[in-house]
């Protein structure tokens, strides 16, 4: 049996219209899918960056010191707290003016303290950077107007507790927590000494 050599397919106008309609429908479906896929990819990348920054950014509390009341005071306590902090290894920038410090003394409601460039009053809810112990880049004057710390920096946080000195009486449990806008929170707990010196003296509390 021999096949004809001059066979050709029949294509009518209806077949052509159907083909064009299929192409147009495919385009209408594909374009939104591409746009949606791009949007989800962008959001996923952004979320990943935020998650990475949140997980890797944080501070380490190196020490907490306290100035005791002088010998003219009958109720001994702490008149000033000095908290030394530094960013953890690989940390992103930590902005002090968006950070919150929660200080809880046993039997007292927590004090919520925020950054203030000129005031460090515990009673008014303020802390400031009392000393820049180490600055990786820039100068102390730069950081005064733009208070932040990055890896390599070390700063001493100052809090004047004179008006609330008895919150930090001898043999009291204290919890201090740094709450960061971006990054993970850091909390320490310690107990004040059983007795304080009767004279004005600096003590290592943590």
pLDDT digits (tens, 9 = 90+) for 76-121: 899 999 999 999 998 889 999 999 999 999 989 999 999 999 999 9
Clarify whether residues 72 and 104 are in a common domain.
Answer: yes
Instruction: Read off the pLDDT of residues 111-155 as tens digits, 9 standing for 90 and up.
Output: 999 999 999 999 999 999 999 999 988 888 888 888 999 999 999
Q: Check residue 51 and give its pLDDT.
A: 46
Query: 47 pLDDT band (50/70/90 cuts)?
Result: very low
Domain that holds residue 27: 12-56
Clarify whether residues 90 and 160 are in a common domain.
Answer: yes
Clarify whether residues 76 and 135 are in a common domain.
Answer: yes
Clarify whether residues 192 and 93 are in a common domain.
Answer: yes
* Residue 2 within any structural domain of the chain: no
What is the pTM (predicted TM-score) of this model?
Answer: 0.73
Clarify whether residues 38 and 22 are in a common domain.
Answer: yes
Clarify whether residues 136 and 174 are in a common domain.
Answer: yes
* Residue 86 within any structural domain of the chain: yes
The label of the residue with tokens 């005071």 reads: 73
Give the chain's domain count: 2
Q: Are 173 and 191 in contact (CB under 8 A)?
A: yes
């Amino acid at each position: 049996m021999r096949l004809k050599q001059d066979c050709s397919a029949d294509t009518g106008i209806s077949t052509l219209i159907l083909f064009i309609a299929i192409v147009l429908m495919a385009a209408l479906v594909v374009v939104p899918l591409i746009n949606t896929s791009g949007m989800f990819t962008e959001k996923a990348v952004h979320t990943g960056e935020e998650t990475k920054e949140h997980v890797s950014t944080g501070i380490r509390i190196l020490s907490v010191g306290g100035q005791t009341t002088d010998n003219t005071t009958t109720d001994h306590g702490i008149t000033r707290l000095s908290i030394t902090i530094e960013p953890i290894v690989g940390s992103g920038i930590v902005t002090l003016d968006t950070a919150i410090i929660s200080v809880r003394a046993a039997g007292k409601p927590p004090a919520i303290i925020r950054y203030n460039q000129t005031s460090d009053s515990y009673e008014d809810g303020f802390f400031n950077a009392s000393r820049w112990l180490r600055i990786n880049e820039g100068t102390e004057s730069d950081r005064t107007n733009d208070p932040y710390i990055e890896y390599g920096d070390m700063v001493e946080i100052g809090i004047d507790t004179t008006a609330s000195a008895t919150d930090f009486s001898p043999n009291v449990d204290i919890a201090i927590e740094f709450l960061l806008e971006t990054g993970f929170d850091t909390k320490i707990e310690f107990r004040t000494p059983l007795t304080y010196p009767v004279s004005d003296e600096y003590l290592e509390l943590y």
